[in-house]
Every structure is written in structure tokens, then in C-alpha cells.
Amino acid sequence: MANPPRTSATPHHDTAATLARWAADEARVRATLAAPGIARPEQIAHLSGLDWFAAIGRGELPSVPIGETMDFVPIEFAHGRFVFQGRPHIRFANPMGTIHGGWIATLLDSCVACAVHTTLPAGRGYTTAELKVSYIRALTPQVGLVRAEGQIINAGRQVGFAEGRLVGADGKLYAHATTTCVVLAASRATGT
């Protein structure tokens, strides 16, 4: 696991070094991802959440279409944790030139929901029941890269709770989120 990014209060934060490391991480991930698509139920019914993400990461299952649309990729995951990395490109800007809150919310929704998903056994799925996002500061394309880091708060048989942070390579916190996810039974999770 990578260490959490330093905060802006940390002395000697090296944004250029962090950007370079994050760009290398992204290139490594993109080299293994398959084309976007939706896995068939028979491909995933036997996979736990962790196994499902591992298969995506190895290119054995399609990558997630929203990642291509919104320009973000999975960077790392473990039981109860998930990190996505995205590029706050100008095409995601609002009329004021800052990144639209919907793009930020999408990254945070993805990391917190996937953190819950990593805790699920084979045949179980989830849906987001609630997402709360707090925008801390304006995000601009000049930040370069951001990471949405989701961490489980509690994973139960019927409900999962997680929180997430959107941080820049500059070490700053841009937004925070919490989620409540409802865990679905096998037939609803896989569409069978």
C-alpha cells in the first residue's frame, strides 16, 4: 500500500515528485486494463469484490466504462480500501473555470462504493443509498492529478458505510465524502 499523500501542512511537500510518481502509477495501470465494458453475470458470479477488482486490474474483465468517460482509473485497492486517480481536465470545468462538482462527486462515489464492494463475498453486490459530499476548496485543471481515496467505516451484511477524500498531488484536500451502501442479495447483484 502506498502511504497517504502528505497534507499541505507537511513541510517540504514535493508536488512535482508526487505528480511524476502518480503519472507512472497511472501508466502502469492503463497498460493492463482491458477495453471498457460490462462483465457478463457468469464471469463474476463466483468472484468476491476483491477478486472482481483483481480480474479487472489484470485485464481479464472489462474496465469500467465510467472511468473512460470521466478519465479516471483504479490505482490500488485492498479489503475495505479503494483509490482512483483522475485528471481534472478543462473539459470537466464549469463556466467559472473550476472543476464541476459532479466530476468530483463521481470520483468520490466511486472510491467509497468500491471500498464497500471490496468487503463483499462472491455473489453479493451493492447500491448507493446515500452520498454526502463536502467541497473543501476549488479544484482546477492546474492541479494535474487527484486521488479519490475510499476507506470503509463499517461493513455489515446489509449495509456498508465508507468515507472518502479527494486529494491533489499538491497535498491539498479538495473534497470529502461519506456513503451508505445497501448490500444486495446474489440474484440482484449479478442480474440472475
SS (H, E, C) the chain: CCCCCCCCCCCCCCHHHHHHHHHHHHHHHHHHCCCECCCCHHHHCCCCHHHHHHHHHCCCCCECHHHHHHCEEEEEEECCEEEEEECCCHHHECCCCCECHHHHHHHHHHHHHHHHHCCCCCCCEEEEEEEEEEECCCCCHHHCCEEEEEEEEEECCCEEEEEEEEEECCCCEEEEEEEEEEEECHHHHHCC
pTM: 0.89
Q: What local confidence, expressed as pLDDT, does residue 9 receive?
A: 47
Which pLDDT does position 13 carry in this prediction?
74
Q: What is the reported pLDDT for 136?
A: 98
Q: Residue 77: its pLDDT value, please?
A: 97
The predicted pLDDT at position 187 comes to 55
Per-residue pLDDT of the chain (192 residues; tens, 9 = 90+): 445 554 444 456 799 999 999 999 999 999 999 999 999 999 999 999 999 999 999 999 999 999 999 999 999 999 999 999 999 999 999 999 999 999 999 999 999 999 999 999 998 999 999 999 999 999 999 999 999 999 999 999 999 999 999 999 999 999 999 999 999 986 555 454
The pLDDT score that the predictor gives to residue 6 is 47
